[in-house]
Amino acid sequence: MDGNKIRVLIVDDSAVVRQTLRAVLESDPEIEVIATAGDPFAAVECIREQVPNVITLDIEMPRMDGLTFLKKIMSQHPIPVVICSSLAEDGALSALRAFEYGAVEVVAKPRLGARQFLEDSRVMLCEAVKAAASARLHRPGPSHTVEPKLTADAILSPATHAMAETTEKVVAIGASTGGTEALKTLLEALPADTPGIVIVQHMPELFTRAFANRLDGLCSITVKEAETNDTIIRGRALIAPGNHHLLLKRSGARYFVEVKDGPLVCRHRPSVDVLFRSAARYAGPNAVGVILTGMGDDGARGMLEMKQAGAATIAQDEASCVVFGMPKEAIKLGAVDKVLPLNAVAGAILARAR
């Protein structure tokens, strides 16, 4: 056993999946799989012998499901957990509940026989495990009561007038590890007339739609998974679909989005850098850039371009981050105007919008 490597326990009821995950993770020299388990009861025995740094956990398993096991682990012996789930609607909904129970990341299971998908999964899974190993485990806070949303007409009217004068603000937000709960906290604090928001959260395909629907039910603003040509309007947040890049575009006085395929950028698809660079190009000083908790450096160079284009830029501070990676890298590049605790970011966005 190498004491410098990240020790991983794989928990999945499929022997084929366990074998594949082991091969994928051990292809990274910084990761060591110390054990695999077919169900939570076997996992407990493994943990008694050697405590892992990270657990990868399936949700659908015999004898005890993954969510029940996750709740027990986080209440009795907190260990960073990466949910490794299938690309299915039910799996997406369960994975989102896992964030509420304390999971750090969610990734899609590698799809056997699809070479490119397996390679992309390798990058994303290894990054997720590394992020989880350095994560602070935060207890999620309670949700607040949501006021009725404004009608579409009430949202559109002031925005259309403001954009004709090219002064309407656009908020671009990037997040990764820990970002699902950070975004929930941030968006819940924003009123229904907040400037239009575009978001990249590193998350697999299908999971983003369930995530957007969940936030839509919690927030005063409307939240939806982005589709090409969606207009950016006051009171609405658009979230990049998993496995697709999201770009901000402009046509006259109208801001809209484009959803695109393409290679991984900064080891991610969607990439925060792709969104931020498009915001710098098409919104310039009308943009507000926000970079939240996450592993790695995605978004740092894009945020610098936003600042150089005249945008206001905000980073989440270290104390409130699950992983202080992405904000730290943006700060190091000199791309950030303000470094704020998560609970102060909404106020800073609104102040800039005024």
CATH code of the domain containing 97: 3.40.50.2300
Identify the pLDDT of residue 189: 97
Q: Mind telling me the catalytic residues? A: 176, 202, 298
Of 100, 133, 166, the position where a domain reaches its end is 133
Indicate whether 60 and 89 sit together in one domain.
yes
Asked if residue 24 belongs to a domain, the reply is yes
Q: Is the dihedral of CA 71, 74, 77, 81 positive or negative?
A: positive
User: Across 14-28, 165-179, 318-332, which has the greatest mean pLDDT?
Assistant: 318-332
233-244 pLDDT tens trace: 999 999 999 999
Average pLDDT, the chain: 87
Asked if residue 53 belongs to a domain, the reply is yes
For residue 226, the SS3 value is coil
Indicate whether 73 and 35 sit together in one domain.
yes
Contact of 279 with 285, CB cutoff 8 Å: no
What is the layout of strands, in order, in the sheet containing 105-108? 31-37, 6-11, 54-57, 81-85, 105-108
Indicate whether 343 and 297 sit together in one domain.
yes
Structural domain for 63, as ranges: 6-133
Asked if residue 140 belongs to a domain, the reply is no
Number of compact structural domains in the chain: 2
Q: Is residue 168's pLDDT more than 80?
A: yes
Contact of 40 with 64, CB cutoff 8 Å: yes
Cα 30 from Cα 2, distance rounded (Å): 9
Identify the pLDDT of residue 153: 35
Indicate whether 205 and 347 sit together in one domain.
yes
Strands 287-291 and 81-85: unpaired
Indicate whether 158 and 72 sit together in one domain.
no
Indicate whether 222 and 86 sit together in one domain.
no
110-162 pLDDT tens trace: 766 555 556 677 888 899 999 999 998 865 444 444 444 544 333 333 333 33
CATH code of the domain containing 211: 3.40.50.180
Asked if residue 289 belongs to a domain, the reply is yes
185-199 pLDDT tens trace: 999 999 999 999 999
Q: Is residue 313's pLDDT more than 60?
A: yes
68-105 pLDDT tens trace: 999 999 988 899 999 988 755 566 777 788 888 899 99
Indicate whether 208 and 156 sit together in one domain.
yes
Q: Is residue 164's pLDDT more than 50?
A: no
Indicate whether 180 and 285 sit together in one domain.
yes
- SS3 track for 92-125: HHHHHHHHHHCCCEEEECCCCCCHHHHHHHHHHH
- For residue 200, give the nearest of 103, 266, 137, 132 by alpha carbon: 266
Q: Is residue 165's pLDDT more than 80?
A: no
Indicate whether 182 and 269 sit together in one domain.
yes
Q: Is residue 225's pLDDT more than 90?
A: yes
More confidently predicted of 137 and 350: 350
Indicate whether 321 and 216 sit together in one domain.
yes
Q: Is residue 20's pLDDT more than 70?
A: yes
Q: Is residue 109's pLDDT more than 70?
A: yes
Indicate whether 10 and 87 sit together in one domain.
yes
Identify the pLDDT of residue 149: 53
Contact of 149 with 235, CB cutoff 8 Å: yes
Identify the pLDDT of residue 87: 57
H-run or E-run covering 162? helix 152-164
Q: Which of 54-63, 159-168, 194-203, 258-267 has the lowest mean pLDDT?
A: 159-168
Tell me the average pLDDT across 34-41: 95
Contact of 180 with 96, CB cutoff 8 Å: yes
Q: Which of 26-35, 54-63, 137-146, 305-314 has the lowest mean pLDDT?
A: 137-146
Asked if residue 141 belongs to a domain, the reply is no
